[in-house]
Amino acid sequence: MAVNLQTLSKNEDLLTGGHRACAGCTGSNILRQIMLTAGRDTVVGGATGCMEVVTTIFPYTAWKTPFIHSAFENCAATISGAETAYRALKKSGELPVPRERINFIAFGGDGGTYDIGLQSLSGAMERGHNMLYVCYDNEAYMNTGIQRSGATPFGAHTSTAPAGKVKQGKDRHRKDLTKIMVAHNIPYVAQTTPFHWKDLQMKVRKALDVDGPAFLNILMPCTVGWGFDPALGIELSKMATECNFWPLFEVENGEYKLTYKPKADRTPIEEWLKQQVRFKHLFKPGNEHLIVEIQRWVDDEQRKLLKLCGEA
């Protein structure tokens, strides 16, 4: 189970370069990190979304593993089918190339996971397929032009929740998908970021090792949708955790555990917000209360989480 740079550096990079992700994309970094741990015996499914598009522009593919795409709303169902076929063939001794274990990983963005794909994800988790679902959460529909999603944070400007004279970006907080997945009583649920590489690798290892479904929610700073210097993506994922916007925790068989304890004097949320163009309007005079509201929400959520983790 040990994860260290020495072993990881020897693992094969299963997502090749030359794909068409934006400069400074943290999503391709997330996929590479996951695949370093998952290894070659992995079947990957991708819901429609930016990472599916940029890695599989036909006739090219960046994947050195089998890859399945179906549609926006049913990646979890498609991987359910693949995993079921594997089990059936294994049982009947008809696997063309016998493998003791194959990992089944479904990737979806927040649009394909929080919103349109939630039904098929919920079904797959409830049925108990031996699969890992990874949500790369960049907090809006970046592939179709930055529309708001159920993951978009309060106050963020998007093309369908624009900031203007009447409204100041999205007027709802994001839904807590990670906890929705916990409520499915599956063996493993966690959230992490690409900055915390060791945390991420440990979580991928655990998620693939459990018997049954697992879910990872990974924050993916998006240079285009969030509006920041492409050099700062990984830094912003670190800062999201430091200001408690994206705490790192895992839930193993229902037991919550913090995997990173933030400092007692957490970073104020404005430090994170002010790095991003999508929150620029919050810093206009008269909008101070909106930042106060975001901080209140972050503090409330953190308080609830610490209680669940037995840290309160």
Cα–Cα distance for residue pair 290/310, rounded to 1 Å: 30
SS3 category, 155? coil
Residue with Cβ nearer other proteins (114 or 215)? 114
Cα–Cα distance for residue pair 27/225, rounded to 1 Å: 13
User: In the complex, what is the shortest distance from the CB of residue 112 to other proteins, in angstroms, rounded to a whole number?
Assistant: 10
User: In the complex, what is the shortest distance from the CB of residue 176 to other proteins, in angstroms, rounded to a whole number?
Assistant: 15
- Outline where DSSP puts E strands in the chain: 42-46, 67-69, 103-109, 132-137, 188-192, 214-219, 249-252, 255-258
SS3 category, 72? coil
SS3 category, 301? helix
- Does 118 engage in binding with other proteins (CB under 8 A)? yes
Q: What residues numbered 47-86 form the site for other proteins, per CB under 8 A? A: 48, 69, 71-73
- Which member of 19, 129, 148, 278 binds other proteins (CB under 8 A)? 148
Cis peptide before 59 (omega within 30 of 0): yes
- Which member of 17, 166, 263, 265 binds other proteins (CB under 8 A)? 166
Judged by CB under 8 A, the number of residues near other proteins is: 25
Q: Which residues contact 44 (CB under 8 A, 6 or more apart)?
A: 63, 65, 66, 67, 68, 105, 106, 107
Of 107-115, 188-196, 209-217, 266-274, the window that binds other proteins (rule: CB under 8 A) is 107-115
Q: What residues numbered 232-261 form the site for other proteins, per CB under 8 A? A: none
- Does 141 engage in binding with other proteins (CB under 8 A)? yes
Residue with Cβ nearer other proteins (72 or 154)? 72
Cα–Cα distance for residue pair 47/38, rounded to 1 Å: 19
Residue with Cβ nearer other proteins (56 or 276)? 56
x/- mask, other proteins, residues 268-307, rule CB under 8 A, reads ----------------------------------------
- Does 174 engage in binding with other proteins (CB under 8 A)? no
Q: Which residues contact 88 (CB under 8 A, 6 or more apart)?
A: none
Within 10 Å of residue 260's Cβ, how many Cβ atoms?
13
Residue with Cβ nearer other proteins (30 or 151)? 151
For residues 114 and 135, the answer to whether their CB atoms sit within 8 Å is: yes
- Does 196 engage in binding with other proteins (CB under 8 A)? no
Positions that interact with other proteins (CB under 8 A): 48, 69, 71-73, 111, 114-116, 118, 141, 143-145, 147-148, 150, 159-162, 164-167
